[in-house]
């Protein structure tokens, strides 16, 4: 039984159309694939049917040509309906069948490709619609690499399966069946010989493929290891070349190559002989040979005429020709199944529940009420019993040692994940009762990893408010201290930024993100380490930008640089996922707890210098 990703509390993004099925809990092999191609199953049957019928026409045309020869020799074909036919009639039939075969084959190709494009489009829209609804945290944890692979290669392998394998499947199932049927009609003894060799071929094929699954898995793993090593080699090039001339990562690449060579060698040695025998047996040669010998004997005995012998020989190749393509289909199926499973795994990720009716926050306060949270892939809690209240228009700083859960606090507000216990309320409304767009209208987030699209600098800023005018964008950029550097870019606000466009420095990217947040102008602001790119000039600019951004807003700021948060209305000190202390700077320093310790370390760091003695040795 196939259940769906539909949830009574979840709006169906794709509209009234039923969602694609998720991965079945249990199921016959291939059922995953069968379910995923559901929307185009009819098209697939049609393409397979047309390809099969085309093959039947081609095979029957061969028999008709045999009948032409028979008529030319003065004989006739002793079959119902065609007893009175002459060579011309059979010739016409053969020509018609050949045309029909060609037409059906082309049509099957067109239909299967149309189906494949339809499936691809459907999968892409459903997957992107679904991805837009899964918790953002899942996207972070799964990694963009894995998601890209599913959206690109897996969808593509399903496209290839529908487009290319289905007509192939239809043709190669129909070919042996039609050929054998006609062979039995013409000369059952020779048909038995052809059938015998065909069965032998199937047995040999099975034997040759016996270890195939294991060998193939090892081959795929070795290939993936090489790909990973190449990616690592290229991505880490700057780091490794500076440290060890690249030899470490090159060694890894080399080792992956050696493993791959070994896997290939084992494959060739273990299955080489079987594969060579299989290829020989699976080729049309053995069938032709066996049928020819038997045919010549029967011909010599006078039991079979020459035209029938010629037709039998041609038809018997039709039986044998299907074996090798049937082997390929196995491979197509394997890839498509693997792709279908990954697509279903992604579709099975539960979407972030959205409320039927969105509540509207009453003011700009933020409350953490006994929040408990554990990352899905971890056993220990990231946050335990975290409670604090941020009054409207005030600034709360969250500080604490590395790994204490500061970024987790920031990420739970926009529901990257939902809390396991307690609640986060904005203006008195649980964030889970707030529709995503309402939540985003109320809260601006500035996270450390800034992403710029391959688009103009103006449009990158406008992302926060698409209807903003050029004047609005420039005003926001000025407030974010970004106007000067944007104006100095080759095409000013029209300069294309992003990884494939003009490269911007970390601090510049950060200020564009701040301009986005300023443009959005939401009453609540969540900042995670916005002062990370801190050469003195950049830091001064970013602090000025932040001051503009934070004016009149409720702010939760996470910063390592304690100097930037000294004036906060409240400082929440996290330690191992718990609130250790909460208060104003002076009170916390006086309390002489964790914050006082962090503050002393910070103060001491201000006085640090790279020179420790008069000889100038750096420490
Ligand atoms: N995506 C994730 N999946 C699983 N565990 C995570 C994830 N992100 C963070 N953690 C874990 O949760 C805990 C809190 O992490 P968090 O990033 O909130 O710390 P932090 O206080 O922001 O640290 P830092 O100051 O170094 O940025 C850590 O133990 C961390 O290993
Ligand atoms: Mg952090």
CATH at 164: 1.20.1560.10
pLDDT in tens, 486-510: 999 988 999 988 766 667 888 888 8
Q: Name the closest ligand to CA 560.
A: 1
Using CB distances shorter than 6 Å, the residues near ligand 1 are 140-141, 375, 377-378, 382, 400, 402-408
Residue 452 is encoded by which pair of tokens? Answer: 């710029």
Query: Quick check: 589 and 571 in contact, CB under 8 A?
Result: no
Last residue of a domain, one of 317, 352, 387: 352
Q: For 324-360, write each residue's pLDDT tens digit.
A: 787 778 778 888 888 899 899 889 888 888 888 888 8
Residues 491 and 579 in one domain: yes
Closest residue by Cα to residue 530 from 520, 541, 519, 542 = 542
Structure tokens at 411: 């990420």
Q: Where does the pLDDT of residue 27 fall: very low under 50, low under 70, confident under 90, or very high at 90 and above? A: very low
With b meaning 16 or more CB within 10 Å and e meaning fewer, what string describes 91-102?
bebbeebbebbe
- CATH number, position 399: 3.40.50.300
For ligand 1, atom 18: residue with the closest CA: 405
Q: Are residues 475 and 510 in the same domain?
A: yes
**In this model, does residue 18 exceed pLDDT 70?**
no
* 9 touches 353 (CB < 8 A): yes
pLDDT at residue 617, rounded to an integer:
45
Question: Containing domain of residue 93, as a range?
Answer: 29-186+325-352
Beta strand 366-373 with 383-390 is antiparallel
Strand pairing partners for 496? 456
* In the predicted structure, residue 126 carries a pLDDT above the cut 70: yes
Question: Which region among 24-33, 403-412, 426-435, 561-570 has the lowest average model confidence (pLDDT)?
Answer: 24-33
The answer to whether residue 12 scores a pLDDT higher than 70 is no
> What is the maximum span of the chain, computed from C-alpha positions, in angstroms?
119
| Domain membership flag for residue 15 | no
**Per-residue model confidence as pLDDT tens digits over 470-479:** 999 999 999 9
CA distance 342 to 347: 9
For a substitution probing ligand 1, which of 139, 141, 368, 406 has the most ligand atoms within 8 Å of its CB?
406
Task: Looking at the structure, tell me whether residues 339 and 201 fall in a common domain.
Answer: no
Helix runs in 466-525, H state only = 470-479, 483-487, 506-520
Give the nearest ligand 1 atom to 528 CA. Answer: 22
Which residues, other chains included, contact 356 with Cβ-Cβ below 8 Å and sequence gap of 6+? 9
Q: Quote the ligand 2 centre to 406 CA distance (angstroms).
A: 6
The answer, as to whether pTM is greater than 0.85, is no
Q: What is the pLDDT of residues 384-411, one digit of tens each?
A: 999 999 999 999 999 998 899 999 999 9
Pocket test for ligand 1, best of 374, 386, 404 (most atoms within 8 A of CB): 404
Do both 527 and 573 map to the same domain?
Answer: yes
CA 556 – ligand 2 centroid, Å:
13
Percent of the chain exceeding pLDDT 70 equals 88
The total number of structural domains that make up the chain: 3
Same domain assignment for residues 92 and 215? no
Q: Are residues 110 and 155 in the same domain?
A: yes
pLDDT tens digit string along 149-170? Answer: 888 888 998 999 999 888 998 9
Atom of ligand 1 nearest to the CA of 558: 22
Given a contact cutoff of 8 angstroms between Cβ atoms, the answer to whether 409 and 575 are in contact is: no
pLDDT for 613 beyond 70: no
CA–CA distance, 85 with 76 (Å, rounded to integer): 8
**Do residues 388 and 451 both lie within one domain?**
yes
Looking at the structure, tell me whether residues 174 and 247 fall in a common domain: no
For residues 285 and 375, membership in a common domain is answered with no
Q: Are residues 218 and 207 in the same domain?
A: yes
Helix H or strand E encompassing 390: strand 383-390
Note whether 317 and 170 are within 8 A (CB): no
Residues 402 and 330 in one domain: no
Whether the CB-CB separation of 93 and 57 falls below 8 Å is answered with: no
End-to-end CA distance of the chain: 67
């Amino acid at each position: 039984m196939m259940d769906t990703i539909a949830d009574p509390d979840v709006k169906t993004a794709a509209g009234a159309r039923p969602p694609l099925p998720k991965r079945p809990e249990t199921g016959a092999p291939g059922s995953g694939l069968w379910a995923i191609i559901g929307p185009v199953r009819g098209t697939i049957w049609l393409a397979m049917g047309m390809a099969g019928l085309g093959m039947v026409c081609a095979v029957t045309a061969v028999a008709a040509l045999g009948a032409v020869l028979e008529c030319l020799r003065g004989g006739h074909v002793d079959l119902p309906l065609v007893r009175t036919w002459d060579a011309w009639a059979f010739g016409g039939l053969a020509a018609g069948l050949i045309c029909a075969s060609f037409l059906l084959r082309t049509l099957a190709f067109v239909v299967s490709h149309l189906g494949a494009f339809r499936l691809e489009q459907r999968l892409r829209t459903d997957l992107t619609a679904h991805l837009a609804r899964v918790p953002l945290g899942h996207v972070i944890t799964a990694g963009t690499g894995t998601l890209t692979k599913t959206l690109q290669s897996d969808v593509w392998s399903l496209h290839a399966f529908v487009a290319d394998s289905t007509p192939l499947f239809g043709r190669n199932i129909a070919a042996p069946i039609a050929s054998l049927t006609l062979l039995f009609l013409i000369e059952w003894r020779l048909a038995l010989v052809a059938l015998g060799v065909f069965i032998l071929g199937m047995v040999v094929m099975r034997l040759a493929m016996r270890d195939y699954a294991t060998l193939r898995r090892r081959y795929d793993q070795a290939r993936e290891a090489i790909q990973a090593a190449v990616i690592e080699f290229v991505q880490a090039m700057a780091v490794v070349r500076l440290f060890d001339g690249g030899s470490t990562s090159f060694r890894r690449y080399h080792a992956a190559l050696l493993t791959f060579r070994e896997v290939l060698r084992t494959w060739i040695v273990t299955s080489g002989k079987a594969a060579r025998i299989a290829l020989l047996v699976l080729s049309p040669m053995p069938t032709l040979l066996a049928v020819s010998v038997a045919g010549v004997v029967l011909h010599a005995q006078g039991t079979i005429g020459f035209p029938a012998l010629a037709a039998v020989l041609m038809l018997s190749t039709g039986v044998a020709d299907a074996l090798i393509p049937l082997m390929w289909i196995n491979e197509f199926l394997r890839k498509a199944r693997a792709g279908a499973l990954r697509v279903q795994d992604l579709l099975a990720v539960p979407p972030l529940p959205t409320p039927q009716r969105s509540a509207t926050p009453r003011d700009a306060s933020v409350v953490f009420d006994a929040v408990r949270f554990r990352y899905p892939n971890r056993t220990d809690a990231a946050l335990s019993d975290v409670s604090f209240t941020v009054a409207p228009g005030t600034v709360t700083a969250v500080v604490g040692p590395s790994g204490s859960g500061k970024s987790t606090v920031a990420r739970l507000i926009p529901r990257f994940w939902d809390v396991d216990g307690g609640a986060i309320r904005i203006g008195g409304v649980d964030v889970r009762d707030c529709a995503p767009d309402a939540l985003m209208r109320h809260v601006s987030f500035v996270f450390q990893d800034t992403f710029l699209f391959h688009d103009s600098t103006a449009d990158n800023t406008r992302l926060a408010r698409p209807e903003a005018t050029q004047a609005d964008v420039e005003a926001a950029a000025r407030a974010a201290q970004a106007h000067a550097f944007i104006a100095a870019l080759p095409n000013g606000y029209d300069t294309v930024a992003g990884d494939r466009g003009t490269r911007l420095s970390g601090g510049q990217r950060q200020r564009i993100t701040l301009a986005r947040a300023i443009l959005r102008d939401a009453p609540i602001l969540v900042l995670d380490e916005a002062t990370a790119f801190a050469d003195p000039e950049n830091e001064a600019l970013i602090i000025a930008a932040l001051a503009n951004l934070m004016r009149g807003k409720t702010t939760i700021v996470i910063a390592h640089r304690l100097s930037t948060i000294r004036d906060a209305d409240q400082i929440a000190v996290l330690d191992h996922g718990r609130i250790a202390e909460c208060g104003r700077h002076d009170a916390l320093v006086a309390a002489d707890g964790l914050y006082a310790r962090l503050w002393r370390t910070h103060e001491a760091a201000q006085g640090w210098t790279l020179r420790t003695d008069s000889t100038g040795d750096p420490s």
